[in-house]
């Protein structure tokens, strides 16, 4: 198993990409700390991991709040004595036209997606510097690389921030044997994506099957991601196979964006 003896903390692990990554890492032998703002989803994911024979703990935390980030990481280190993998995956968005973005939307999206990621990296690094090792993974997005189908410009900017932070954190933390990388998912079948499709269906009257066809248009491999496609990349980046990879943001998108 590729992640045996590793303790992994995943944010936004109650659903979608985070949940799929939690299940994939547990299958590879990691003990997984499942963190999410929604307690019912935390409990369900922990139960799923345990039912499959894995080991998990649940933490309810909002990554937009520094005291909750601290409590989240501290509870993992208190219980297991180490933190090997920090996967900063929690993210939010909703569909909005450029001119409709207001301060509330900007602050909500950036509070979770950019500020949350930075302070999770920083708090995890405090522990990882002491232990002299660690893998930090972030979920960015092809939206941060100019994907025209992004949900909104504030979201795209927040994911550009994650890509930039990944490079700066990799430079700052490399000397402590800590790698920092991001995954840029393309269109991925999750609650978040379904919410965007539902909104377009309601507001623009586009039939659901047409929206599904639109979502896969222009993807060379011809299909959108399942959440497990991202989980596979997260396992790789958390494993020793990725030990000399840092500062990278890797697209997992069927070839939709090639930069
Ligand atoms: N689905 C896509 O097409 C897609 C594409 C590119 C990038 N992403 C990114 O992937 C990540 C996961 O998205 P997803 O599609 O799995 O979404 P999702 O909505 O299905 O799951 C996200 C989870 O994060 C949790 N969460 C939200 N705010 C939180 C907070 N403040 N603190 C802690 N947890 C919080 C939610 O409760 C939810 O369980 C996000 O960063 C998203 O931006 C998604």
Split at pLDDT 50, 70, 90, the class of 98 is very high
Integer-rounded Cα radius of gyration of the chain:
17
pLDDT digits (tens, 9 = 90+) for 137-178: 999 999 999 999 999 999 999 999 999 999 999 999 999 999
225 CB less than 6 Å from ligand 1?
A: no
* Protein residue whose Cα sits closest to atom 14 of ligand 1: 16
Domain boundaries of the chain, sorted by first residue: 7-187+228-251
Using CA of residue 154, residue 158, residue 39, residue 232, what is the dihedral sign? positive
Question: 88: which residues sit within 8 A by CB, 6+ positions away?
Answer: 11, 63, 116, 117, 120, 121, 136, 137, 138, 139
Which atom number of ligand 1 is nearest to the Cα of residue 116? Answer: 31
For residue 175, report the distance from its CA to the centre of ligand 1, in Å. 31
Token reading at 85: 């993998």
Share of the chain above pLDDT 70, in %: 100
**Residue 155 is among the residues annotated as catalytic for this protein:** yes
- With contact defined as beta carbons under 8 Å apart, do 246 and 179 qualify? yes
Which atom number of ligand 1 is nearest to the Cα of residue 63? Answer: 32
* Domain 7-187+228-251 = CATH 3.10.110.10: no
For residue 216, report the distance from its CA to the centre of ligand 1, in Å. 20
pLDDT digits (tens, 9 = 90+) for 16-69: 999 999 999 999 999 999 999 999 999 999 999 999 999 999 999 999 999 999
Which atom number of ligand 1 is nearest to the Cα of residue 16? Answer: 16
pTM over 0.75: yes
């Amino acid at each position: 198993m590729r992640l045996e003896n590793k303790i992994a903390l995943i944010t936004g692990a109650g659903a979608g990409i985070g949940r799929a990554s939690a299940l994939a890492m547990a299958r590879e032998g990691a003990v997984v700390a499942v963190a999410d703002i929604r307690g019912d989803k935390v409990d369900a994911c922990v139960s799923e991991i345990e039912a499959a024979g894995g080991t998990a703990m649940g933490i309810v935390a909002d990554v937009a709040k520094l005291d909750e980030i601290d409590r989240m990481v501290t509870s993992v280190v208190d219980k297991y004595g180490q933190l090997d993998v920090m996967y900063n995956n929690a993210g939010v968005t909703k569909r909005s036209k450029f001119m409709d973005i207001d301060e509330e939307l900007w602050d909500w999206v950036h509070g979770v997606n950019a500020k949350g990621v930075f302070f999770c990296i920083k708090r995890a690094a405090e522990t990882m510097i002491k232990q002299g090792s660690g893998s930090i993974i972030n979920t960015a997005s092809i939206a941060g690389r100019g994907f025209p189908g992004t949900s909104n410009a504030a979201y795209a900017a927040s994911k550009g921030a994650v890509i930039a932070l990944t490079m700066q954190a990799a430079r700052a933390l490399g000397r402590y044997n800590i790698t920092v990388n991001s995954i840029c998912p393309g269109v991925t079948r999750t609650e978040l994506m379904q919410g965007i499709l539902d909104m377009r269906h309601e507001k623009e009257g586009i039939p659901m099957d047409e929206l599904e066809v639109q979502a896969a248009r222009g993807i060379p491999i011809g299909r959108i991601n399942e959440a497990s496609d991202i989980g596979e990349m997260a396992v790789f980046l958390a494993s020793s196979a990725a030990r000399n990879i840092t500062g990278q943001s890797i697209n997992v998108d069927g070839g939709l964006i090639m930069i």
